[in-house]
Amino acid sequence: MFIKQIKHDLAFSKAAFLGMSALMIAFAFVHRLLLAVSKSGVIDQGVPFVVMALLSFVLFGVVVVSIMQIYQFYKQNFFGDAGYLMLTLPVNRGRLLASKMIVSMLWFNFMLVMGIVVMFIMADFDGLVMIIFGTSLQDMVSSTVLINLIIMHLIAAMFFCITLSHSIIAGWRIHGFIAGMVYFVYLALYAWIVLLDARFGFIAITTLISVGIAFVGTWYLLEKRMTL
């Protein structure tokens, strides 16, 4: 049942992420084509740089839209019209939450791969290969793991605060503004702690503990304090 839930969540969210990746690749190919044409003198050489600037805006937009899509994906599944059906499934809410976390991370890594593909399309191939192979495998793996841990932390904290904004504690419905403030304070506290020691091991352990706290807190709110 858990695997089916992950497949359902992937199907529910695939349209937006596949559409964004297609847009990124299309812009990259247009840039590459215009760059080749401009070298032949057919069009002004400044055109490819305009397209590259537009692609930069697109890439920034993809990051923002991806975060918003994950936000909407979680909120609609638990607190939208689909939430009533979702919460009647024979799966405990901890597994539903875990499914949302796994799917969010899968889509993040998919977009990360698409970003690398775009770099290969746009950049000078030889130069990019030198950069990649000039970096040790250990550094590449460490960087990838660290990026995933940080994103996982951001998502876990976001899920907690979304759930908090739909919870009743001590008879009071938590306002969205309060939940938003909790989110920023939580992230600020996390940033302050990891800056105390920038070593990979310390950051990884701190992040996993923080993700665990956010996950358990969200699970508790979904089970005990949530209101639709």
Summarised one tens digit per residue, pLDDT across range 63-78 is 777 777 888 888 877 7
The residues spanned by each domain of the chain are 1-123, 135-228
Specify the residue for token string 């499934």: 89
Give the CA angle between residues 150, 155, 160 to the nearest 5°: 125
Specify the residue for token string 């699970």: 219
Contact 31, 58 (CB under 8 A): no
pLDDT digits (tens, 9 = 90+) for 88-143: 666 678 888 898 899 989 988 888 888 777 777 776 555 455 555 555 566 677 78
Nearest of 14, 20, 160, 5 to residue 73 by alpha carbon = 14
pLDDT digits (tens, 9 = 90+) for 108-122: 888 888 877 777 777
Amino acid letter at 183? Y
Q: Which two tokens stand for residue 104?
A: 């969010």
Q: For residues 11 and 228, what is the distance between their CA atoms, to the nearest angstrom? A: 24
Q: For residues 73 and 123, what is the distance between their CA atoms, to the nearest angstrom? A: 33
C-beta contacts of 132-136 below 8 A and 24+ residues apart: none
Dihedral sign of CA atoms 101, 13, 221, 162 in order:
positive
Low-confidence winner among 40-54, 149-163, 173-187 (lowest mean pLDDT): 40-54
What share of residues in the chain are helix, strand, coil (percent, to 5)? 85, 5, 15
CB burial of residue 117 (10 Å; 0-12, 13-18, 19+): middle
What's the average model confidence in pLDDT over 150-174?
84
Q: For residues 32 and 29, what is the distance between their CA atoms, to the nearest angstrom? A: 5
Helices 125-133 and 93-122: crossing angle in degrees, nearest 10, is 130
Q: For residues 151 and 162, what is the distance between their CA atoms, to the nearest angstrom? A: 16
